Amino acid sequence: MAPERQQVKEQDKIARRSNFEPVESNLTPEQVKLEASRCLHCKNPRCVQGCPVNIQIPDFIEELKKDNLDEAGRIIRQTSMLPSVCGRVCPQERQCEGNCILGIKGKSVAIGALERYVGDNTKADTPEIKLSGKKVAIVGSGCAGITAAADLRKAGHEVVVFEALHKLGGVLRYGIPPFRLPRTILDREITNLKEMGVKFHTNVIVGKSITLKQLKNDGFDAIFICSGAGLPKMMNIKGENLNGVFSANEFLTRVNLMGAGRQDCATPLKIGKKVAVIGGGNVAMDAARTAVRVGFEEVSILYRRTEKELPARLEEIRHAKEEGVQFKFLHAPVEILDKDGYADGMKFEIMELGEPDSSGRRRPVGTGEYVIEDVDTVIVALGTGPNPIIQRSAQAEDLEIITDAKGYIQVDNETRSTNLPFIFAGGDVAPVGESNAINAMGAGKKAAKAINELLQ
């Protein structure tokens, strides 16, 4: 009989409420061999089609069957420089694993767990690089930027990455908590790039510290803008400016990057008793699970649809529930109540589901019934939009980059080129559905390919 899908070991659900250590461990070598044996090595591998960077999944799994771990790593890194990252944070159930043929009648191959094991236990080779004499500037050190940097450096170009924050990694560092993505993993991947010769500059805000025109004048032949979407989307309701109300972006950045969950931090958070997290995506889960760990007594996620419509990964929802996060569905925020300038309760309208909207999910409709939730902290996790600093700076220099009505940089879907011949853009700053790690990596690969063709 074929073996059952192998499960990673998880940290005790009570113990992990008070630490930021990784929740999941790697598969054991024995488990890896068993899980690899489940792969059918399909002639038409749908899993590869479901991967935005086209990792040759059956091929690397076949090498695991043969105990050729280093070769498995080489195969993955032909298309992905971040296997340890993607194996942890990508939505495999909607991409590679979601397309696995075994999943039609049973459980798909645990591709994410296998990829993570390979990434953690192999090292990227430092390629021999033939210098081209060309220079490329990359704005942002997140998934898209790191991926583009690797591909462009392999092509022989001088690559310089400019990061606005004081640490590298973009949303991988400030947005994703270490219990999902250990910082040692992220640091190792960035070290690989440095060993390839990629240069990094932190504390540089392109559009403020330096402009696009200055980069061009400094000899950069192409610029790839992948600065992310750092502008939080808020609810636009009464009380949103009260003390105790945070965007998820601010909350996670302060905890993950500045250590604000510790009271010995220079700018600690005021830890209240009850926190309401508004939203239902992965960021909402990250914010809620982080709130548990920094010491809030009661953490609730309030979402205006039902559990069936939650966009977060099933694994993240399960982990949140195990850690004591409460879920309250069909609740739409109306007002945050004020007491001496601080949040002191929140009013919600009870909803019901109507006809499907443009996303295919049933639209929430108000019932006219209202409830008051007793909370002293509110975290808004409704997504983010593009920060307009670069676009405004470029416009002031007569380098007008075309954007859409929401401020996203307009790009060609295949090349990520903009209306300016030497400027490319991708990741969350572009409006083409790149708001997770692997899709942003796909954008970085497309941009790198197009930039390399331009420079040649």
Query: pLDDT tens, 4-26?
Result: 999 999 999 999 999 999 999 99
What residues pair up with 414 in beta bridges, in sequence order? none
Q: What is the predicted pLDDT for the residue at 1? A: 64
Q: Domain limits of the chain?
A: 15-121, 135-230+386-455, 232-384
Q: Are strands 342-356 and 362-373 parallel, antiparallel or unpaired?
A: antiparallel
Provide the CATH number for the domain formed by 135-230+386-455 in this structure.
3.50.50.60
Mean pLDDT estimate for the chain = 94
Q: Which long-range contacts (CB under 8 A, 24 or more apart) does 23-26 make?
A: 23/179, 23/180, 23/319, 24/88, 26/113, 26/116, 26/117, 26/120, 26/121
What are the φ and ψ backbone dihedral angles of 342, each rounded to 5 degrees? -120, 150
Q: What is the predicted pLDDT for the residue at 434? A: 56
Q: Does domain 15-121 have CATH number 1.20.140.10?
A: no
Q: Which superfamily is assigned to 232-384 in CATH?
A: FAD/NAD(P)-binding domain (3.50.50.60)
- Same fold yes or no, 135-230+386-455 and 232-384: yes
State how far the Cα of 258 lies from the Cα of 393, in Å rounded to an integer.
Answer: 28
List b or e across 109-135, with b for residues whose CB sees 16 or more CB atoms inside 10 angstroms: bbbbbbbbbbbbebebeeeeeeebebb
Nearest to 79 by CA among 443, 442, 456, 453: 442
State how far the Cα of 264 lies from the Cα of 273, in Å rounded to an integer.
Answer: 19
Q: What is the DSSP string of 35-72?
A: HHTT----SS-HHHHTSTT---HHHHHHHHHTT-HHHH
Q: What share of the chain is helix, strand, coil (3-state, %, to 5)?
A: 35, 20, 45
Distances, alpha carbon 418 to alpha carbons 52, 163, 385, in Å: 21, 21, 18
* H runs (alpha helix) in 169-247: 171-174, 183-196, 212-217
Task: Say if CB 348 and CB 332 are below 8 A apart.
Answer: yes
Q: What is the predicted pLDDT for the residue at 433? A: 57
Q: What is the predicted pLDDT for the residue at 378? A: 98
Residues of the chain short of pLDDT 70, as ranges, are: 1, 432-435
State how far the Cα of 441 lies from the Cα of 427, in Å rounded to an integer.
Answer: 8
